[in-house]
Chains A and B, each alone.
Chain A
Amino acid sequence: MKRIVIIGAGTGGTMMAQHLGKELDRKEWSLSIVDERKEHYYQPGFLFLPFDQYKPEDIVKPISEFIPKGVDFVNIKFEKIMPDDRQVILANGNTLIYDILIIATGSEIAPEETEGMGGSEWGKSVFTFYTFEGAKALRDKLKTWPGGKMVVHITEMPIKCPVAPLEFAFQADSFFKDKGMRDKVDITYVTPLSGAFTKPKATATLEYLLKEKNITIESDFAIESVDNEHKTINDYGGKAVPFDILVTVPTNKGSMLIERSGLGDELNFIPTDKTTLQSKKYPDIFVIGDATNVPTSKAGSVVHFEAEILTENILSYIKGQKMEGEFDGHANCFIETGGGKALLIDFNYDHEPVTGTFPIAGVGPLRLLKESRFNHWGKLAFKWVYWNMLLKARPIPFVSARMNVAGKNYN
């Protein structure tokens, strides 16, 4: 009996367990998935939690609910990967021997990378919505906050879901308007990038929206430290931005397991072939989702597209055939813009987000890079799609793993 081990039962690991559970010849292959946690979070919900639009119970379910029958769920912490011995060491001292390893350990926040970030103001006036606990703490703070300077901040790229901090700023604008206190709140968006986003056409649209919503943008800001005493963030170039509430996205890093196992780059992301999703160093290791270093967004939609292609490639690898699945970097993201509207962007390694129609060229019903209510409903419906289709690896109608250039205005 040969063995595939998946480490990490988040979005990517769960999808791979679903796909391979269906596709593998189970007389020949056993399949295990390892994760110490018991809860699976719907992470896009972290954006709605601070504004009390979703309740905590809407966005958490047991991991075990999504692990298919016949797949062994090993609910123990992983300690180390020994790639030369094809072993995963668990915290209880047991080892799992694999023929193929799939790493799906995601990314984590690392506030300790920035001086002062985890300091005395953490949880008092310095918050992050990148964790379940952090999003809840921010919700509690915003309930009674009288107003002042809110700074929405990205520490450094890459981060999980690069549009999320912008969405947070847009949603905050709406939230304070609804509470009748927008005039008491000053919102500043601070980014290490040279503009609102990483791609030119989307940046132009998003900067227009920031301006329309009276959100100041402070770009090219490389943070050196958080000054807890004076409540400022300071950058290496000598700039300082004062805050009453800092909503920061700390440095994102791959799992510490990757560092312990010596498999990562300087941020613990794993050097991965961007088309096949095979480890660049070990042919029997494959990597999916945020854990890779491939140059596309770290986002659930990306993982969904990667999972289809990675399944194809692993099946070829098992048969000793050439891996023909080529991941194109496809990402598809709703961007909440507040006031019950949203934008949608669809892009890949080669094509930046532009205007157009999606998923059916010329028809829609969704509009790319344009605000609409329909897009917002799409974003809300996505929670159901996530729990009921995505995690169960059911195909989404009309949305293919490879990006479709039809219906998009590139000129």
Chain B
Amino acid sequence: MDKMIAGKTISVTEEGFMTDFTQWDKTIADAIAAENSITLTSRHWEVLDYIQTEYKNEVPLSIRKIGKSGVVDIKEFYQLFPMAPLKTATKIAGIPKKVSCI
């Protein structure tokens, strides 16, 4: 389905995950973050950059992997993206919901 985010028409799933990464830009990230009551800081961006890089390299993401990335530990990951951090962070990063969940 389509949704207006930051004044642009964006293709998303029912849960709000973007389905086309080429539509993503930083204003969209800010808008999705705001929907989740998050204001993005430089710390958030370091984590989002890491997540996007891993996604581009087709590395499956997990909370464990992010905790061991050296970018952020799990405690801080939760502080930055409360409740379900991996879900929220990937949503803001414009990455499709991970499908390799088994």
Interface positions of A (Cβ within 8 A of B): 156-158, 162, 192-194, 198, 220, 222, 224, 236-238, 266-267, 295-298
A224 touches B102 (CB 8 A): no
Can you name 19 A-B residue pairings with CB atoms under 8 Å?
Answer: A156-B62, A156-B63, A157-B62, A158-B102, A193-B101, A194-B84, A198-B101, A198-B102, A220-B83, A220-B84, A220-B87, A222-B78, A236-B74, A236-B75, A237-B83, A238-B78, A266-B64, A266-B68, A296-B102
Shortest distance from the beta carbon of B72 to any chain A beta carbon, whole Å: 12
In the bound complex, CA of A156 to CA of B65 (Å): 12
Over the window 42-83 of chain B, the binary record of Cβ atoms lying under 8 Å from chain A Cβ atoms (1 yes, 0 no) is 000000000000000000101111001000001101100011
Cβ–Cβ < 8 Å partners of B75 in chain A = 224, 236
Q: B22 at the A/B interface (Cβ < 8 Å)?
A: no
In the bound complex, CA of A270 to CA of B76 (Å): 29
Per DSSP, chain A at the interface is loop
Cβ–Cβ < 8 Å partners of B37 in chain A = none
Shortest distance from the beta carbon of B43 to any chain A beta carbon, whole Å: 16
A295 touches B83 (CB 8 A): no
Cβ–Cβ < 8 Å partners of B82 in chain A = 237
Shortest distance from the beta carbon of A140 to any chain B beta carbon, whole Å: 32
Cβ–Cβ < 8 Å partners of B41 in chain A = none
- Which residue from chain A places its CB closest to the CB of B59 in the assembled complex? A265
Cβ–Cβ < 8 Å partners of A297 in chain B = 102
Cβ–Cβ < 8 Å partners of B60 in chain A = 295
Cβ–Cβ < 8 Å partners of A298 in chain B = 102
Task: Known contacts A220-B83, A236-B75; decide if A192 and B102 are in contact (CB<8 Å).
Answer: no
Cβ–Cβ < 8 Å partners of B77 in chain A = 236
With most chain B CB atoms within 10 A of its CB, the pick from A193, A222, A238, A295 is A222
